[in-house]
Structure 1
Amino acid sequence: MPATGKKTESSDGGVRPGLTLAVVAVVQFMVSLDVSVVNVGLPRIAAGLGFGPAGLTWVINAYALTFGGLLLLGGKAADRYGRKRVLLFGLTLFGLASLGGGLAQAPGQLVAARTVQGIGAAALAPAALSLLTATFPSGRARVRALGVWSATNAAGAAFGVVAGGLLTQYASWRWVMLVNVPMAAGTLALARRGVVGSRPAERGSRPDVLGAVLATAGMTLLVFGVVRTDRHAWTSPVTVTTLACAVALLGAFVAVERTTAREPLVRLGLFTNRSVAGGNLYNLLIGAAMTPAFYFGSLYLQEVLGHGPASTGTMFLPVTLGLVAGSVLAVKLGYRFPARLLLVAGGLLTAAGLAWFGRISPAGSFTADFLGPSIVAGVGFGLCLGPVVSTATAAVAPHEAGTASGLLNSSRQIGASLGLAALGTAAAHRTGHRGSLVALTDGYRLGLTLGAGLTLAAVVVALTVLRGPGARVRLAQPEGDVDLVRAQD
């Protein structure tokens, strides 16, 4: 996020860079972990609280929607009220929401807790990244710090499935929520002691709360309308009205950003930059494909192949390792090849892995049906992470680089919600009311195949939209100052 003054953490004599990096790393790991940690526990959550198949997706969507929808507002709040203050607020809210979710006794209570978790994460993530860029303003220390941030971001989402399985099997599904409480409390104590507060921005403007509310409400209604198509047809009055209201709210958001917001969340002129528009569209499509893949994969291993939560989580280790390997490979290749080429290669590899996943069998096995495609898709997805950041923040004015970065985080989370809603609904329609393993597998297979199609669409975006200066940007420069790092400040 953009710094709001020269005398920030990076120039304060009391700064403790090591502790700041530790705080930021734990925060990023925690908010990424919570995108996927509930996946393996979903069957037991459904049984314990009485969720229906479509309603169960809201355990994931409630978090992803509020997280993605409020990220830009969280960044503006950190600039206005001070990064440390917003970080501490977010940690407190996140911890309390996790406690509430772990104690939930009804579906609505858990969804509400996940919603509040998303609000806390939307405050945490931009405040933490802004602290990092202020504490490490340049040089190799900055490169290493951003490397730690990228690694914990990727590892948190991938490791969440593993941790969720172990906790669900050997403790309770409630611990996929409660595990955040000690992490949040410990990080809160560490942040109070080791993070130096920044000067708030001048009080000349107000955060665009109206824009944030309109955007989040519009996206929530859009996802809700898609999810409810399991009960109401696409042409039914209920679905048409819901989707029309969603479009109206999103249209109002555009109008507010264009005409009335004194300090808009997003300057709409940013989207005239092909790299920004194409990078965010690519990011949205990749998020819409990969989040459902984790969802369907965990359900297939448990509901069809009959594995327990712990073994299911362990079986996601190849995805985790592949993702990390792909991220490391992207940095190494980034010295030699433009980011656009890596996006095409990573997208094709991810699509191949998901298409391979789409051949799962009700009589299959982990080795035959899951291991190979999980490695291929994991490496491909990891290969996309760094290049899409450098592309979507290329050729952006320095004072808008933070906004471009926040927009990229939002597009990933919103894509995850829309993809899970659409593909989850399509899978449920294919399965219908049949309860057989063949029917379940048929639904999962369709969802995974559609995910491969979304990834191919992302490749088309990289080939057609990402042209001009942004197409030639590289993830890393040999002298050590990377475009990825520069773009985050």
Structure 2
Amino acid sequence: MRKENKGIILAIILISYFMILLDNSIIFTGTVKIAAELNLSQTALSWISNAYSLTFDGLLLLSGSIGDIIGRKRIFSIGLLIFAVGSLLVGLAGSMMSIVLARVFQGIGSAILAPTSLALLMDSFSGKERTRAIVAYGATSGIGASIGLVIGGLFASLMSWRDGFFINVPIAIIMLILTAKFIPTDQTRQLKKLDIVGSIASIIGMTALVYSLVGSQGRLIALIIAVIAIAGFIWHEARTKQPMMPLRLFVDRERLGGYIARFFYLGAMMSMWFLTPQIMQTQLHFTPLQAGLGFFPLTIVSFIVAVQVAKLADRFGNTQILIIGITLTVIGMFAISFFSAQVGYTVGIALPMILMGIGQGLTLSPLTVAGVANTSPEDSGVVNMVHQIGGSVGMAFVVAASATVKTEIASYHLAMLTATALLIGALIAVIGLIGPTLKKIA
């Protein structure tokens, strides 16, 4: 494969992945206007995000298996098409039901794109080129979410939050054309049976678990259903001949640590991304654009650090970088939990965000490296599954915990303290599981 073609392939992969991450962030900065326009409560707003994430979670591994059967280039193109149509429907939505259903459709497209993009990356690159590509992919997961807040604020303030979704349509069409021209058709396809039972069990389990946290009625029943479905999923995956999530992936300490740390880390960061734009708009009277721009300290610092992380990890080691990165994120998250209108933006939000930006830049790429350690391309989808489930379940848990407090500012304080506890869980996973491996980015 020609070197310039590899550059274009990497650009296609990263832009497509960036696009699917962007939309949750656009929802976050547009929440106040979306809530006002569609008359939605805080819980209803969380379901606009969760509908997307849970569909993403439940179908992610199944779509990866379909890609192995019919070809990754073909399924990637189908995913782009579905995502474009879903984005169009979100932009046209006029009620809670229509926007949630549109987000579900979008989630289907994302569930196809995410595992296929990482598998295409691992197919297209090897050795040090693969490591650099994975680092870029990991950095995109954090930078995409942060930049999305700015873009979402821009659309919500100067145009409409709907335009943030309409813009996906031409981008997806361009990616479709480039995919057809530059991504080679994979010749090796696997003869395997789709794990329909596992997919259904995972969707039921994750949806019920999140509902048990943020639902209004029948939460105990939902929790029981979640436990049964998740247990059934694990039991099924352990016994089926062709599981969509082979349990052998969790035997390796480095991968297991990467999965657990990513789960907790994304739960904490998604909660901060979801709640902080709202608190800036209600407590500091920022416009959606100002709230998005308010994330610049995190976004810019995260980008600067992320582009250097491969060199830093090569020098100091993956584990040491992770420990430093998550520790800085813990300090930043704890600091932001003291925010108030009296403290103000600079001290209460911007300075903690600088610490979180350094931490995020140091953390997400090494976590991606740990999550795909010693795996084949068809097994790489677990990283994206953990990313999305961690964000969905973690955010639901934080929102549910903070909802026990009546005043908005006290609720925010509790939410950020809860997010801090999740980050400490990620740090423990890195020290206890990844630490003993002492591996570096090659």
| Residue of structure 1 in register with 2:413 after alignment | 445
| Residue of structure 2 in register with 1:319 after alignment | 298
CA displacement, residues 300-354 of structure 1 (integer Å, 9 cap, x when unaligned): 1111110001111111111111222332343222122232222221111101000
| Residue of structure 2 in register with 1:75 after alignment | 64
State the 1:138 CA deviation: 4.4
Describe the SS at the equivalent of 1:474. coil
8 A Cα contact 1:305 1:364, kept in partner: no
Q: Distance in 1 between matches of 2:61 and 2:331?
A: 33
8 A Cα contact 1:208 1:262, kept in partner: no
Query: Structure 2 unaligned runs (5+)?
Result: none
Q: Distance in 2 between matches of 1:148 and 1:346?
A: 17
| Residue of structure 2 in register with 1:135 after alignment | 124
| Residue of structure 1 in register with 2:141 after alignment | 153
8 A Cα contact 2:255 2:372, kept in partner: yes
| Residue of structure 1 in register with 2:282 after alignment | 303
8 A Cα contact 2:138 2:366, kept in partner: no
Q: Distance in 1 between matches of 2:133 and 2:377?
A: 17
State the 1:465 CA deviation: 3.0
The correspondence of residues 241-280 of structure 1 with structure 2, limited to 5 A, is 241-259=221-239, 261-280=240-259
Runs of 4+ in 1 over 6 A off after TM superposition: none
Q: Distance in 1 between matches of 2:389 and 2:128?
A: 33
Q: 1:164 aligns with which of 132, 152, 161?
A: 152
CA displacement, residues 415-453 of structure 1 (integer Å, 9 cap, x when unaligned): 11011111112222212xxxxxxx211111110111111
8 A Cα contact 2:122 2:377, kept in partner: no
CA displacement, residues 24-75 of structure 1 (integer Å, 9 cap, x when unaligned): 1211111121231210000111111121111110111111222233222222
What percentage of aligned pairs have identical amino acids?
32
The answer to whether the aligner puts 1:197 opposite 2:185 as a matched pair is yes
In the alignment of these two chains, the number of paired residues is 442
Query: Residues 158 and 212 from structure 1, CA distance in 2 versus in 1: closer, same or farther, beyond 3 angstroms?
Result: same
Describe the SS at the equivalent of 1:361. coil
State the 1:284 CA deviation: 0.4
**Which letter maps to 1:409?**
N
Q: 2:395 aligns with which of 420, 431, 451?
A: 420
Q: Distance in 2 between matches of 1:465 and 1:146?
A: 21
Query: Structure 1 unaligned runs (5+)?
Result: 1-9, 233-237, 432-438, 476-481, 483-489
TM-score scaled by length of structure 2: 0.94
**Which letter maps to 1:248?**
I
State the 1:112 CA deviation: 1.1
Describe the SS at the equivalent of 2:278. helix
| Residue of structure 1 in register with 2:169 after alignment | 181
State the 1:145 CA deviation: 4.1
Rg larger for: 1
8 A Cα contact 2:238 2:246, kept in partner: yes
| Residue of structure 2 in register with 1:334 after alignment | 313
8 A Cα contact 1:274 1:467, kept in partner: no
8 A Cα contact 1:358 1:449, kept in partner: yes
The answer to whether the aligner puts 1:472 opposite 2:433 as a matched pair is no
**Which letter maps to 2:255?**
V
Query: Residues 288 and 154 from structure 1, CA distance in 2 versus in 1: closer, same or farther, beyond 3 angstroms?
Result: closer
State the 1:277 CA deviation: 1.9
Q: Distance in 2 between matches of 1:460 and 1:153?
A: 22
CA displacement, residues 370-411 of structure 1 (integer Å, 9 cap, x when unaligned): 1101111111122111222233333x3xxx433553212211
State the 1:360 CA deviation: 0.6
Report the aligned-residue RMSD: 2.0
| Residue of structure 2 in register with 1:455 after alignment | 423
After TM superposition, the structure 1 stretch with the greater mean CA deviation from structure 2, 440-449 or 361-370, is: 361-370
